Chain A
């Protein structure tokens, strides 16, 4: 028997699990896995044995599986970092990016509302100042519901300033924000939304990431990715904020719920109510998508209709939910 037919024979015996136990490991080492079509043949043989399992075996099997790996978290899950750390790292990343820009790039058009890269960073100077005042619970800070309009005076103030000096000012203000966090569970009014400090920092992380994307696109560089820990922070906060986002957008759906199956290491499975102050019910729709892509929708850097998602169940409701995901984004 030549080597090839011997290998074929070994492959067939492997597919049937008919080798001696003492021969199996050697055989697998020698020929690797047997061909896929032999697996199909073996599986076809199995079709002749199909039998309804005992009804109680279903719940026993699912419970056994859940006891070995709790549902909800990805198999390769990363631990979300604290929102304060996520904000801190994102400040450093953006600062590094700004340090690499040349004069022409500072003047590249980067944002429909704010304008050039330098104006975008001036806008961020204004945002950090506002956040500092909100974090200090300064009652004199007026409600400024329009995130864009609120920083226009700062953009005007810095119009003649060297862009690298604007970057330095932004970085200093951002460092002060990071230092002023204090008790993270306390409520903060962020424009017209009352959130916890952790929620605020997660939103700000998203905003800085979004603007880093703007800048990179403006100067022809690859848009930055957040590390999985930060992405997990954003996706976790995002899921917690879905009811608020739906209400903020004016489209709460009391009594109904959506199930998100977010893939990737920053993902997980979440069932969320579609209205504040309600418990998650049985989901009416399941949305399966990549966690990082959904975060891009949440920060307004991907339109919901561009999201590659599988929607199972009430599709109209799914579309409504995806349309509301970005409601809390501040640009």
Chain B
């Protein structure tokens, strides 16, 4: 990823090397009346563009997929556009996500290879998050199995208009992990107390350590670093340790209302930072 500038998470497109020779399908947030009309791209606020050229379009439900072979040459982020690179393409790339909708269509059709592909792309996130929240490897395995099995059984429950598949899986994994923590709270807390003093190190330390792996984690660490310390600590306790706002308040020795306010302010600040970056990315 050297040389690739950090981008907002939802704009990235992790592509395995073996895919590079294959046509890639990117979901466009697009609508059009027929396969021969120009596509109108309306993915981001205040952003409208028209695709004048394309090689092949596929429609599933209300979504169009456009096969742009040139993207494959620079799948993560096209710092260099291909031969026919035009401003419009640069902008299109800024609004695609990877083929989540197509993968979901395949899951609905019973294609277990699509599930394997989704697992390969996102298992690290699901497992890592579950392990971080539950601090129990076996429970993290169980949560991972549950999350992907749920996806396989209930693909129609996923609304991609609310975010990427990765976002959905993170949400689901976190919810399940937190449920596990709360279900077995006494046991988990006891284990935590006798385990490494992770709260003393702080999730931020581990986040910073992990940040060497990808620009995403570097990006996250940078964003967290922009939060006021009390907000950062509150959000870390709530998200990474699965604490309720009541528990956060107790852990920090602050009123519950203050804990709520800090959590809300932390998320609002992160949201603003992300939005600013998204605007910058397409400007």
Show the binding face of A for B, using Cβ within 8 Å: 5, 8-9, 12-13, 15-21, 33, 36-54, 57-58, 60-62, 64-66, 68-77, 259, 261-264, 267-269, 286, 288-290, 308-313, 315
Contact = CB atoms under 8 A, between A and B. Distances in A.
Given A12-B268, A53-B127, A61 B58 contact: no
A46 B174 contact: yes
A65 B109 contact: no
Contact of A17 (B107, B126, B175): B175
Interface SS of B by simple majority? helix
A57 B110 contact: no
Most B CB contacts (10 A, CB to CB) among A36, A42, A76, A264 go to A42
A64 B89 CA distance: 41
A19 to B, nearest CB: 7
A313 B18 CA distance: 11
B174 A17 contact: yes
Most B CB contacts (10 A, CB to CB) among A40, A46, A61, A75 go to A46
A315 B109 contact: no
A9 B22 CA distance: 45
Interface in B226-258: 235, 238-240, 242-246, 248
Contacts of B213: 50
B153 A68 contact: yes
Contacts of A5: 264
Nearest to A51: B128
30 contacts: A18-B243, A19-B244, A33-B162, A36-B163, A40-B163, A40-B167, A40-B271, A41-B270, A43-B9, A46-B128, A46-B170, A46-B173, A49-B128, A50-B213, A51-B210, A53-B127, A54-B137, A58-B119, A61-B123, A65-B145, A65-B148, A68-B149, A71-B110, A74-B110, A75-B155, A259-B111, A261-B109, A261-B114, A268-B110, A310-B58
Given A65-B112, A68-B153, A18 B141 contact: no
B108 A49 contact: no
A3 to B, nearest CB: 14
A28 B111 CA distance: 33
B110 A40 contact: no
B141 to A, nearest CB: 6
B110 to A, nearest CB: 5
Given A42-B239, A48-B220, A71-B111, A58 B123 contact: yes
Contact of A44 (B141, B182, B261, B270): B270
B60 A263 contact: yes
Contacts of A15: 267
Given A60-B145, A310-B25, A311-B23, A288 B115 contact: no
Interface of B: 9-10, 22-23, 25, 35, 57-60, 65, 67, 102, 105-116, 119-120, 123-129, 131-132, 137, 141, 144-145, 148-149, 152-156, 161-164, 166-168, 170-171, 173-175, 178, 182, 203, 206-207, 210-211, 213-214, 216-217, 219-221, 223-224, 235, 238-240, 242-246, 248, 260-261, 263-264, 266-268, 270-271, 274-275
A26 to B, nearest CB: 14
A172 B235 CA distance: 75
Contacts of B161: 36
B115 A65 contact: yes
Nearest to A58: B119
A68 B57 CA distance: 34
Contacts of B25: 310
Given A13-B264, A20-B246, A46-B173, A62 B112 contact: yes
Most B CB contacts (10 A, CB to CB) among A40, A54, A267, A289 go to A40
Contacts of B67: 310
A300 to B, nearest CB: 20
Contacts of A70: 110
Given A13-B245, A16-B235, A43 B105 contact: no
A261 B106 contact: yes
A268 B53 CA distance: 32
A12 B129 contact: no
Given A51-B127, A261-B105, A315-B23, 19 more contacts: A13-B264, A39-B167, A45-B235, A47-B214, A50-B125, A50-B214, A52-B127, A53-B141, A58-B119, A58-B120, A62-B119, A68-B152, A69-B152, A259-B113, A263-B108, A267-B109, A267-B110, A289-B58, A312-B22
